[in-house]
Structure 1
Amino acid sequence: MPIGEFCNREVVFATRETSIPEAAQLMRKFHVGDLVVVDEIDGKRVPVGIVTDRDIVIEIVSQSLDLNEFSVGDIMSPQLISVQEKEGVFETIRLMRAKGIRRIPVVNQEGGLEGIVSADDILDLLAEEMTELAKVVPREQEREAKTKI
């Protein structure tokens, strides 16, 4: 199944220039723990980084720095890993595991932001699929029992 079929398409994003207080307000307003940092290129939102609530705490709050002195671009993770929307779920899992990341932006062929998927999203999908698969076993056993008689 392509990751683009079930990724969250309502991505909360910011630009490099977004202030840290604005970023925190966006996270609170939309109940998210991360913002995808984008550059607007030819009318497309191209992901260039990601910033998490943890980044804000570790990089700024824990050091008693002035929140207003920094922007998202100052603390974002610049080594952004993304996945194409046509990639499969298991390829995405392998990439997330190899890179040690819990969230990954989903992009189209042109590199434009299409969505985001988290490890929790994938776990929910797999749990749902396993539940459906578990329902098959009793039905199959029941069918086999009827044909034996």
Structure 2
Amino acid sequence: MAISEYCNCDVVIAAPNVSVLTAARLMSEYHVGDLVLAEKVERECYRPIGIITDRDIVLGVVAGGDIEPERIQAANLQSRDLVTAKESDDVFDVIAKMRRFGIRRIPIVDDRGLLVGIVAADDLLGVLAETLRDLSQLVAYQSLREEGEFEKDY
């Protein structure tokens, strides 16, 4: 299962030099917990260079006591190098990568490194829960079929 099947293609992006205040307002306006910081490569094509989360803002600005979030660039709050996944990567490989790097969100890129979407741990939990539900129903269906009470052949 390629991760591109499950990524959210509606990504909220911002320039790396946007202020933390603007970043927070964008997150609020679009009801998201992160912004992908990206540079425009060509028309409607962006290369991700970072990610900032609501948690980064809280820990880096609010808890730090900084009273001028409009003067801090979003890129300055990045706590680590950006980790991405390719759109052709397997879902389970992406989950392993997220676990290895301790990240809950990962931008998805194409072969040229251009942004195509983003996946959050919450999204993947939903996919896995549905898959486990389907698998558990398979056990029940087999028992019903053996008893002659289930006519469909899956």
TM-score (norm 1): 0.92
Count of residues in correspondence between the two structures: 147
User: Which SS does the other structure have where 2:111 is aligned?
Assistant: coil
Deviations 1:2-54 (A, max 9, x none): 00011111011111121111111110011111111101123420010110111
Could you tell me which residue of structure 1 aligns to residue 29 of structure 2?
29
TM-score (norm 2): 0.90
Root-mean-square deviation (Å): 1.5
Alignment of 1:83-122 (within 5 A): 83-122=85-124
Counterpart Cα distance in 2 of 1:63 and 1:107: 33
Counterpart Cα distance in 1 of 2:79 and 2:41: 20
Task: Give unpaired runs (5+ residues) of structure 2.
Answer: 150-154
Deviation at 1:78, TM superposition (A): 4.6
Counterpart Cα distance in 2 of 1:120 and 1:145: 38
User: Which SS does the other structure have where 2:148 is aligned?
Assistant: helix
Could you tell me which residue of structure 1 aligns to residue 61 of structure 2?
60
CA contact (8 A) 2:22 2:70 kept: no
Could you tell me which residue of structure 1 aligns to residue 152 of structure 2?
none
Deviation at 1:123, TM superposition (A): 0.6
User: Which SS does the other structure have where 1:63 is aligned?
Assistant: coil
Alignment of 1:1-149 (within 5 A): 1-43=1-43, 44-65=45-66, 66-146=68-148
Counterpart Cα distance in 1 of 2:55 and 2:31: 14
Identity of aligned residues (%): 41
Q: Which structure shows the higher helix fraction?
A: 1
CA contact (8 A) 2:56 2:77 kept: yes
CA contact (8 A) 1:49 1:77 kept: no
Task: Give unpaired runs (5+ residues) of structure 1.
Answer: none
